[in-house]
Amino acid sequence: MRAVEVEGLIKRFGDFEALRGCSFNVEEGEVFGLIGPNGAGKTTTLRIIATLLKPTGGVAKVFGLDVERRADEVRQVISYLPEEAGAYRNLSGEEYLRFIASLYSEDVEEMVEEGGRISGLGERLRDRVKTYSRGMVRRLLLAGALMVSPRLAILDEPTSGLDVIYAYEVRRLIKDYAEERGTTILLSSHNMLEVEYLCDRVALIDGGVIIEEGSPGELKESYGAENLEEVFMEATGRG
Amino acid sequence: MAKALLTLISKEVKELLRDPKILLGIIVMPLILFPAMGSAIRVSQRSVSRAVRRMAIAVYNEDGGPASQELIAFLSKDNEVSIIEAENLDEALRRFMEVDSSILLYIPDGYSEKMASGERCMLRLYAHLRRLNMAETGKASSVEQLLMIYGEECSLKRIRRILEEAGEELQPEAVRRPISISYASIMRGVVLDIPPQAIFGVIMSQNLMLPVMIMMMNVFAIQMAATSIALEKEQKTLETLMTLPVGRMTILAGKLCGSILIAIAGAISYMIGFSYYMKSTLGFIPQLTMETLREAGFRLSPLGLALLGAVIFLTLLLSLASSLSIAVFAEDVRSAQSLVGLIYIPMMIPFIILMFTDVDMLPGGLRWLMLIIPYTHAVIASKAIFLDRYIPVLTAVTYMTIFTLTILHITTRIFSTERIITARIRRWRIGRRGD
């Protein structure tokens, strides 16, 4: 079964057209990357799939569920990590994980324990979130998104704003989790090397449309490029 | 659904209560500020009453006759009277300014003679305002009252003597004041031996306290709800919250309930502090009046109490829903708090106007404008409940229910659309660049 089906997705904000007929599919169990520069339409696409925005036109489905008409059911099977997300500053890390877990499962403690393990925050989980660094908050949020064992994890720029070390840790974390659990992950990034490292398949998005889709290896081969950055530049005619 | 709601409420309460601004500003401050203000006023009132109780009165007795000696003896009973020895009034005033007393009674020459012949006598009081405080003016009016009492006694003595000389067997008090008035009031068909002013005092205290309480609770609730939704935007937690497997209505209900709980805690804290302040500063309603009113059945019936609860709940719900639907458009807490200020205007105006008058007494246009505002009906209902007039209460409850449901519907619509994510209004900037 396909985890995500996106067909001719259009999204307008007033006069501005953020998506202009975007189409791609994500197979169950794969790590799929949506890559493109800032303003390409990555976040808008992910927000529509995460049921936050309604499409102006086209269709988006998650495990066969229409994101617009069956939004409540979609939310039962996804978890979403927004690009510029924060956590409740006055809760401790553990309380935050417990809050998320309570909305997903009866077995809260087991989930919180798993969240603690994924985050790697150890004793710091007992401290208030307001005392955390940006990297620690990102790890906590990622743990919250992954500990609930979603059928589809949507991660918008998961390493956004992190330094090299934290970004490396977060990438490692996602890779290990995907390999261990076989969870479908749909992520976006403007960092082509990150996507190449993490994803089974990628879609290049520019100006609100998908311009190319395939595995990093296939794309590199078809464009005779050394990496996805070169592929993107060639595919968009900027090379 | 219930578990999810409890989880959301618990999160809301923790988030809000752990915010130092909310904890200090809404819960702790009223418990400190009002008692401190009340204590300060009580201390100053006590010092004034102590100062007035046994006063130091200076007397310049130019007359020196028996009637003036009698007056000085009367004043000396409960006060410290010091006689100023001087050649004339100017010297007496100079000496008076050197002594500790702040009141000088000047008894002019001829006082005793006029008293004996039954003529009207003029006395003069000089108040030395050294510090311009309440005690100084209080002393002047206390001495004036003492002199009035003394004058009354002199008058009665004189009337008694005249009556005796005329051989009349009349009561001097009746001759002096032939008419005496005792008040009774009729309320809800019951005749009460209480002056209308006293009843008005009791009703006013309820009319004042209840709307103040409702208004304060609403102010807290509006702030809480605005902060609650704006914090989600400011801390960038809203997007995550909106994708969790919980209905938008449950999220909205969680925010409403969490805000109500904090608002109630704030209102209780405010009322404890405020009632301490009121007790410290006022406490003017005689106990007897309260007891007589209670005996005559002037208390809230169970129906009245239930309706009052419904009115308060509806008002609160209306404020919260309005606040949430407005604050959704703000980008951060400060913008949200500025935006919800818009609700204070239609809320405060009826509370203030109807504290002093009835809606029926207002001119036509203003009356209709007031009646459109739902908060007007909360005040009308809270007054009518105390008078057992249930039809206006039910009308108010019906109108407020319709209005609240409409606002709740709008809020739910906003929560279920993407506007909750995309709406952005920054705080209005006041002042110029570079200021």
Residue B404 lies in a domain: yes
pTM metric for this prediction: 0.72
- Shared-domain flag, residues B370 and B393: yes
Distance CA A82, CA A64 (A): 23
Q: Residues B292-316: what's their mean pLDDT?
A: 74
3-state class of A211 per DSSP? Answer: strand
Residue B126's closest CA among B151, B149, B97?
B97
- Shared-domain flag, residues B29 and B62: no
Residue B294 lies in a domain: yes
Distance CA A84, CA A80 (A): 12
Q: Residues B65-90: what's their mean pLDDT?
A: 90
Look at the alpha carbons of B22, B26, B31, B36 in this order and tell me if their dihedral is positive or negative. positive
Residue B430 lies in a domain: no
Classify residue A103 by its DSSP letter: T
**pLDDT at residue B195 above 80?**
no
Residue A198's closest CA among A155, A232, A235, A237?
A155
- Shared-domain flag, residues B130 and B228: no
- Do the beta carbons of residue A119 and residue A93 sit within 8 Å? yes
- Shared-domain flag, residues B201 and B127: no
Which of B289-293, B351-355, B409-413 is predicted most confidently?
B409-413
Shortest Cα distance, chain A CAs vs residue B344, angstroms: 28
- How many Cα atoms are found within 13 Å in the side-chain-facing hemisphere of B325? 20
Residue B430: per-residue pLDDT: 39
User: Is residue A54 within 8 angstroms of chain B, CB to CB?
Assistant: yes
Distance CA A60, CA A9 (A): 7
Contact A82 B239 (CB under 8 A): yes
Which ipTM value was assigned to this complex? 0.92
Point out the least confidently predicted range of B80-89, B113-122, B279-288: B279-288
Point out the least confidently predicted range of B155-159, B167-171, B275-279, B382-386: B275-279
**pLDDT at residue B339 above 50?**
yes
- Shared-domain flag, residues B38 and B61: no
> Which amino acid, residue B422?
T
Question: For B202-243, what is each residue's pLDDT tens digit?
Answer: 666 655 666 677 777 788 888 888 888 888 888 889 999 999
Between B209 and A170, the more confident residue is A170
- Shared-domain flag, residues B7 and B105: no
Between B395 and B272, the more confident residue is B395
Shortest Cα distance, chain B CAs vs residue A201, angstroms: 25
Domain range for B60:
54-176
Return the number of other C-beta atoms located less than 10 Å from residue B14's C-beta.
Answer: 17
3-state class of B104 per DSSP? Answer: strand
- Shared-domain flag, residues B38 and B59: no
Q: Residues A183-194: what's their mean pLDDT?
A: 89
Domain range for A193:
28-235
- Do the beta carbons of residue A46 and residue A34 sit within 8 Å? yes
Between B429 and B404, the more confident residue is B404
**Phi (first) and psi of residue A215, to 5 degrees:** -80, 155
Residue B299: per-residue pLDDT: 62
Task: Please give the helix or strand (H or E) that residue A7 lies within, else none.
Answer: strand A2-13
Q: Residues A8-20: what's their mean pLDDT?
A: 92
Question: Alpha-carbon Rg of chain A, whole angstroms?
Answer: 18
Residue B433 lies in a domain: no
Residue B432 lies in a domain: no
Residue B337: per-residue pLDDT: 86
- Do the beta carbons of residue A156 and residue A53 sit within 8 Å? no
Point out the least confidently predicted range of A77-81, A97-101, B61-65, B333-337: B333-337
Please report which confidence band the pLDDT of residue B432 belongs to, taking 50, 70 and 90 as the band edges: very low
Return the structure tokens found at B196.
């209308």
Residue B181 lies in a domain: no
Contact B243 A144 (CB under 8 A): no
3-state class of B86 per DSSP? Answer: coil
For Cα atoms A87, A90, A92, give the angle at the middle one, nearest 5 degrees. 75
- Shared-domain flag, residues B244 and B371: yes
Q: Residues B267-283: what's their mean pLDDT?
A: 70
Strand A209-214 relative to strand A201-206, pairing: antiparallel
- Shared-domain flag, residues B216 and B332: yes
Please report which confidence band the pLDDT of residue A51 belongs to, taking 50, 70 and 90 as the band edges: very high
DSSP string, A22-85: EEEEEETT-EEEEE--TTSSHHHHHHHHTTSS--SEEEEEETTEETTTTHHHHHHHEEEE-TT-
Question: How high is the mean pLDDT of chain B?
Answer: 81
Q: Residues B182-196: what's their mean pLDDT?
A: 78
Task: Please give the helix or strand (H or E) that residue B310 lies within, else none.
Answer: helix B302-327
Look at the alpha carbons of A134, A136, A139, A143 in this order and tell me if their dihedral is positive or negative. negative
Q: Residues A7-18: what's their mean pLDDT?
A: 92
Task: Please give the helix or strand (H or E) that residue A214 lies within, else none.
Answer: strand A209-214
Residue A18: per-residue pLDDT: 92
Domains of chain B: total: 2
Distance CA A103, CA A96 (A): 11
Buried b (16+ CB within 10 A) or exposed e, A33-50: bbbbeeebbbbbbbbbbb
Contact A103 B14 (CB under 8 A): no
Please report which confidence band the pLDDT of residue B428 belongs to, taking 50, 70 and 90 as the band edges: very low
Separation of CA A3 from chain center: 13
Which of B108, B143, B176 corresponds to the end of one domain? B176
| CA distance from start to end of chain B | 52
Return the structure tokens found at B68.
């003036």
- Do the beta carbons of residue A215 and residue A209 sit within 8 Å? no
Contact B237 A54 (CB under 8 A): no
Residue B252: per-residue pLDDT: 87
Residue B82 lies in a domain: yes
User: Is residue B1 within 8 angstroms of chain A, CB to CB?
Assistant: no
We report the CATH number of the domain holding residue A205 as: 3.40.50.300
Residue B429: per-residue pLDDT: 45
- Do the beta carbons of residue A8 and residue A21 sit within 8 Å? yes
Domains of chain A: total: 1
Q: Residues of A with CB below 8 A from B10's CB?
A: 99
**pLDDT at residue B187 above 80?**
no
Point out the least confidently predicted range of A35-49, A154-168, B275-289, B294-308: B275-289
- Do the beta carbons of residue B37 and residue B286 sit within 8 Å? no
- Do the beta carbons of residue A198 and residue A187 sit within 8 Å? yes
Distance CA B41, CA B46 (A): 9
**pLDDT at residue A182 above 90?**
no
Residue A11 lies in a domain: no
Strand A2-13 relative to strand A16-27, pairing: antiparallel
Buried b (16+ CB within 10 A) or exposed e, B307-337: bbebbbebbbbbbbbbbbbbbbbbebbebbb
Torsion of CA B395, B396, B397, B402, to 10 degrees: 90
Can you tell me which residue has the tokens 């109500």?
Answer: B260
Between A52, A72, A86, which is nearest B421 by CB?
A52
Residue A22 lies in a domain: no
- Shared-domain flag, residues B319 and B364: yes
Question: For B128-166, what is each residue's pLDDT tens digit?
Answer: 887 777 667 777 888 888 899 899 889 998 899 899 888
Residue B284: per-residue pLDDT: 47
Contact B421 A53 (CB under 8 A): yes
Residue B70: per-residue pLDDT: 92
- Shared-domain flag, residues B20 and B84: no
Point out the least confidently predicted range of A195-199, A235-239, B59-63, B177-181: A235-239
Q: Residues of A with CB below 8 A from B246's CB?
A: 75, 103
User: Is residue A16 within 8 angstroms of chain B, CB to CB?
Assistant: no
Question: How high is the mean pLDDT of chain A?
Answer: 91
Distance CA A78, CA A150 (A): 5
Contact A50 B243 (CB under 8 A): yes
**pLDDT at residue A3 above 80?**
yes
Shortest Cα distance, chain A CAs vs residue B215, angstroms: 29
Please report which confidence band the pLDDT of residue A167 belongs to, taking 50, 70 and 90 as the band edges: confident
Shortest Cα distance, chain B CAs vs residue A91, angstroms: 7
Point out the least confidently predicted range of A35-49, A129-143, B250-264, B399-413: B250-264
Question: For A66-116, what is each residue's pLDDT tens digit?
Answer: 999 999 999 999 999 998 889 999 999 999 999 999 999 888 999 999 999
Shortest Cα distance, chain A CAs vs residue B18, angstroms: 6
Q: Residues B317-332: what's their mean pLDDT?
A: 86
Residue B187 lies in a domain: no
Residue B212: per-residue pLDDT: 72
Share of chain B above pLDDT 90, in %: 15
Residue B435: per-residue pLDDT: 33
We report the CATH number of the domain holding residue B151 as: 3.40.1710.10
Please report which confidence band the pLDDT of residue A184 belongs to, taking 50, 70 and 90 as the band edges: very high
> Which amino acid, residue A236?
T
Residue A164 lies in a domain: yes
Contact B11 A91 (CB under 8 A): yes
Task: Please give the helix or strand (H or E) that residue B384 lies within, else none.
Answer: helix B374-386
Question: For B1-31, what is each residue's pLDDT tens digit?
Answer: 688 999 999 998 998 888 887 777 777 877 8
**pLDDT at residue A134 above 80?**
yes
- Shared-domain flag, residues B354 and B394: yes
